[in-house]
Amino acid sequence: MKYEAVIGLEVHAELSTKSKIYCSCSAKFGAGINEHTCPVCTGMPGALPVLNRQVVHYAAKMGLATGCTVNRLCQSARKNYFYPDLPKAYQISQAEHPICSDGEVFFYVDGKKKSCRLERIHFEEDAGKLLHDEIDGTVVDFNRCGVPLIEMVTRPDLRSSAEAKEFLETIKTTLSYLDICDCKMEEGSIRCDVNVSIRSEGSEEFGTRVEMKNINTFSGAVRAIDYEVARQIDVVEHGGKVQQETRRWDDVKLKNTVMRTKEDAQDYRYFPDPDLIAVEIDDTWMEQIQSEIPELPLARYERYLHDYGMTAMEARQISDSFAKANLLDAAAASGKIEPKKAANWILSDISKYLNDKEIEVEDTMLTPDKLVDLICLIDKGTISGAAGKKVLIELFEKDETAAQIVKRLGLEQVSDEGAILAIVQDVISRNEKAVADFKAGKNVTGFLVGQCMKASKGQGNPQIINKLIAQELSKL
Ligand code: ADP
Ligand code: MG
Ligand code: ZN
């Protein structure tokens, strides 16, 4: 029998607010153990939470960017459970009134457009962290307690690990375009729970699902899904039944084990948090949030494919980066250059420079105008492509225009035919062997062009050199 996988994801993203969700502690990652704590986030008796307005703003922004309905009245609820990293013994989250609901996220898998619906997006606080140490035993670090999260819950619309991966990548680039999450996977900024079931192909009914929690890389999610789909098929093929349970994915041993079964499923006893009043997003606030949403990664990707003649890979590489996409769009908006030429620079020399230095475009002096000027200088033949690469490095590092740099470095291409003819004639007269080879029917143009470029210190216009070499050789 053929089986189909059915997958639903619960994705947690840490929001990049300055302070935590219910207190004024810093939400920054990487402080010393328990340095970013106060009575509120460590759950001391009598401490009262106050909702951070920025969290509501960011959560609603993500909702608008993913086609959700933003529910204007935001209520908080307590989700009760005990764990040593949660000193209050409840997490402040949202229950039946999430800030956003009913969205849809679009993405491409192997050139086909797919989508996955979002059931909801709600905001909540993160829990602390247990640090297990062989000598000191277990240390509880409450720094992460109260760091704001949004949780995005999908409908079970995904049908393969490849779809899950592209969905997750789209969520990530959307978060980074919106500038609401730092997306540092290695710091746990985005984590997900995966829910997996199988059914026979063509069936309309859903099978029993298994959940795997807290997976912190997208490749790990792919491995966890592939493993679980294979495991469930194996269970069914051997006459068994998939049990509804939570399993722990081990990304080192590459297998999962039962964590808890349906019998000990938790009842979180959600109830409205009496310490927090509902917050309403009024029209002015909504308009403000809406106005901050830029053209999103998928729209740009499609535009680059259809309008700029880029390949899927090129369009993806640029649209994945907000900074690179903005550079391309601003350069194209000048109307002075072919967008594809700017894209080529961004994908090659610009990306290489930024990767080597591990920085972003905005950390350099390069601007769209400067890039446009550079391309125009090459288009007009003022400088060669090779000289352009030298100019680019200067554009990153100096507050000068491309023209100023060309002048300062003396990179201007020689296009004066008289001057080049003199060089060509000199090179031909000094290379008797090449002339002999030419007379014997060999192609010596490449060699002679190289010699002429050398003689002109790289500044001779190669088109003119080529033309004049052909002209002089034909006279022999
Ligand atoms: P819980 O709160 O217990 O985790 P939910 O009903 O909220 O349960 O579902 C959580 C996730 O499980 C959602 O992302 C949903 O899409 C997914 N899901 C639900 N049913 C299935 C199924 N049969 N197979 C795979 N995923 C499923
Ligand atoms: Mg769940
Ligand atoms: Zn605090």
The pLDDT of residue 179 is 98
Average pLDDT over residues 125-139: 92
Identify the nearest ligand to the CA of 164 by its number: 1
Question: Is the beta carbon of 6 within 6 A of some atom in ligand 1?
Answer: yes
Count of residues for the chain?
476
pLDDT over 90 (residue 208): yes
> How far apart, in Å, are the Cα atoms of 422 and each of 199, 450, 468?
78, 15, 10
Alpha-carbon span 233 to 242, nearest angstrom: 9
Average pLDDT over residues 74-91: 95
DSSP lists the bridge partners of residue 131 as 139
The number of the ligand 1 atom at minimal distance from the alpha carbon of 9 is 14
pLDDT over 90 (residue 120): yes
pLDDT over 80 (residue 266): no
- Condensed to tens digits (0 to 9), the pLDDT of residues 277-295 reads 999 999 999 999 999 999 9
Please report which confidence band the pLDDT of residue 150 belongs to, taking 50, 70 and 90 as the band edges: very high
pLDDT over 80 (residue 406): yes
Contact 19, 41 (CB under 8 A): no
Please report which confidence band the pLDDT of residue 458 belongs to, taking 50, 70 and 90 as the band edges: confident
- Condensed to tens digits (0 to 9), the pLDDT of residues 21-79 reads 999 999 999 999 999 999 999 999 999 999 999 999 999 999 999 999 999 999 999 99
The pLDDT of residue 313 is 96
The helix (H) or strand (E) run that includes residue 422 is helix 417-430
pLDDT over 80 (residue 251): yes
Question: What's the distance, Cα to Cα, between the start and end of the chain in Å?
Answer: 77
List b or e across 222-259, with b for residues whose CB sees 16 or more CB atoms inside 10 angstroms.
Answer: bbbbbbbbebbbeebeeeeebeebbbebebeeeebeee
- Condensed to tens digits (0 to 9), the pLDDT of residues 409-448 reads 989 988 889 999 999 999 999 999 999 999 999 999 999 9
pLDDT over 80 (residue 263): no
The pLDDT of residue 381 is 87
Give the mean pLDDT of the chain.
95
Q: How far is the CA of 75 from the centre of ligand 1 (A)?
A: 23
The pLDDT of residue 260 is 87
The number of the ligand 1 atom at minimal distance from the alpha carbon of 197 is 24
For ligand 1, atom 13, which residue shows the shortest CA distance? 8
Nearest to 423 by CA among 409, 436, 413: 413
List b or e across 72-101, with b for residues whose CB sees 16 or more CB atoms inside 10 angstroms.
Answer: eebbbbbbbeeeebbbbebbbbbbebbbbb
Q: How far is the CA of 159 from the centre of ligand 3 (A)?
A: 41
Please report which confidence band the pLDDT of residue 148 belongs to, taking 50, 70 and 90 as the band edges: very high
pLDDT over 90 (residue 221): yes
pTM, to two decimals? 0.91
1 or 366, greater pLDDT: 366
Instruction: Using DSSP, state whether 251 is helix, strand or coil.
Output: coil
Q: By percentage, how much of the chain surpasses pLDDT 90?
A: 92
Question: Is the beta carbon of 209 within 6 A of some atom in ligand 1?
Answer: yes
Q: How far is the CA of 280 from the centre of ligand 3 (A)?
A: 24
Please report which confidence band the pLDDT of residue 243 belongs to, taking 50, 70 and 90 as the band edges: very high
Identify the nearest ligand to the CA of 87 by its number: 3
Alpha-carbon span 356 to 86, nearest angstrom: 41
Whole-number CA gyration radius for the chain: 30
The number of the ligand 1 atom at minimal distance from the alpha carbon of 153 is 14
The pLDDT of residue 72 is 94
Please report which confidence band the pLDDT of residue 463 belongs to, taking 50, 70 and 90 as the band edges: confident
What are the residues whose beta carbons fall under 8 Å from the beta carbon of 240, sequence distance 6 or more? none
Q: How far is the CA of 158 from the centre of ligand 3 (A)?
A: 38
What are the DSSP E strand ranges found in 237-341? 245-250, 255-261, 271-272, 279-280
Ligand 3 is an ion; residues with CB less than 5 A from it: 23, 25, 38, 40-41
Average pLDDT over residues 363-389: 94
Task: Name the one residue in this structure whose structure tokens are 């640090």.
Answer: 131
The pLDDT of residue 135 is 85
The pLDDT of residue 457 is 83
The number of the ligand 1 atom at minimal distance from the alpha carbon of 196 is 25
Alpha-carbon span 4 to 6, nearest angstrom: 7
The pLDDT of residue 3 is 96
